[in-house]
Amino acid sequence: MAIDFPNSPTVGQIFTSGDKSWIWDGTVWKAYGASLSPTVLKVDSTNSRVGINNQSPATALDVTGDINASLNLRIGGNTVGTAETFTPTIVGNTSGSVTIGNGSLVGKYYRINKLVVVSYGLTWGSTTTTNCVGLWLFSVPLGTATGGNGFGRILDAGNTYHRVTGLAGSNKAVFQATDTGSEVQNTVPMTWANGDVLSATFVYETSA
């Protein structure tokens, strides 16, 4: 039976007829996936889908079975299972901000679909200053925090530990010192000074 190949194909175009496929290399049609059983590789050129061990792919790539990758898996450009770094900021919910100076404020995060797990590390330096008015708002790495929870601790220079919990506020992360019942800010849970440290984790659903 004659095969009616498409007219004016583009390079890389795949054509499937029955259980066989061909790819146009710019000059001729070449057998595509010829070494694979049609039950292993299914090319749905009509819907631009590929199935592996799947004869009815429902997405661009539809795999029935395990996937083993030697490098990274990315969703929306974000690596899954590997931490990404970012530089957080802290602002007051009314005005002002924290200037890190010779201290440090670092962040990293993991993303799975719309779920983002963020870790914050703040170390107050001798030249770190704040003119924040109101509670502190920690920036999030992706989109806005439409809902979330957190946990962590603060260690002041006098070796006193304070537990903190977190929640979403003004689309950012807010932490509350559990022993004071107030949100972390310039003088909560203590007046911030050289050597004070906050370590916290915040989990939220991103709008992005």
* Same-domain status, 55 and 89: no
Let me know whether 60 and 86 are in one domain. no
Among 24, 48, 68, the domain-final residue is: 68
Q: Are residues 62 and 91 in the same domain?
A: no
Question: What ranges make up the beta strands (E) of the chain?
Answer: 14-17, 20-24, 29-32, 41-44, 49-52, 61-63, 73-75, 78-80, 84-86, 90-92, 98-99, 104-112, 115-123, 129-130, 136-138, 145-155, 161-169, 172-177, 182-183, 197-206
Q: Is residue 126 part of a domain?
A: yes
The total domain count for the chain is: 2
For 36, the domain range is 14-68
Domain at 121, CATH number? 2.60.90
Per-residue pLDDT, 167? 93
Q: Please indicate, yes or no, whether residues 27 and 93 belong to a single structural domain of this protein.
A: no
Q: Does the residue 73 lie in any domain?
A: no
Kindly state whether residue 174 falls inside one of the protein's structural domains.
yes
CA atoms of 115 and 146, how far apart (whole Å)? 11
Banded pLDDT at 133 (limits 50, 70, 90):
very high
Residues 144 and 201 in one domain: yes
The pLDDT value recorded for residue 207 is: 83
Q: Mind listing the pLDDT tens digit for each residue in 161-200?
A: 999 999 998 899 999 999 999 999 999 999 999 999 999 9
Residues 53 and 91 in one domain: no
Question: What's the pLDDT band for 1 if we cut at 50, 70, 90?
Answer: low
Q: Tell me whether residue 74 is in a domain.
A: no
| Residue among 198, 85, 205, 204 at smallest CA distance from 136 | 198
Query: Are 91 and 189 members of one domain?
Result: yes
CA-angle at 17, arms to 11 and 23, nearest 5°: 20
Same domain, 63 and 83: no
59/97 same-domain check: no
Question: Is the model's pTM score more than 0.75?
Answer: no
Is the residue at 39 inside a domain? yes
Q: Residue 146 domain-assigned?
A: yes
- Domain end residue (candidates: 6, 37, 68): 68
Give domain status of residue 41, yes or no. Answer: yes
Res. 83: pLDDT tops 90: no
Query: Among residues 49, 44, 52, 53, which one has the least CA distance to residue 19?
Result: 44
| pLDDT confidence bin for 157, thresholds 50/70/90 | confident
139 within some domain: yes
Q: Is the peptide bond before 189 cis (omega within 30 degrees of 0)?
A: yes
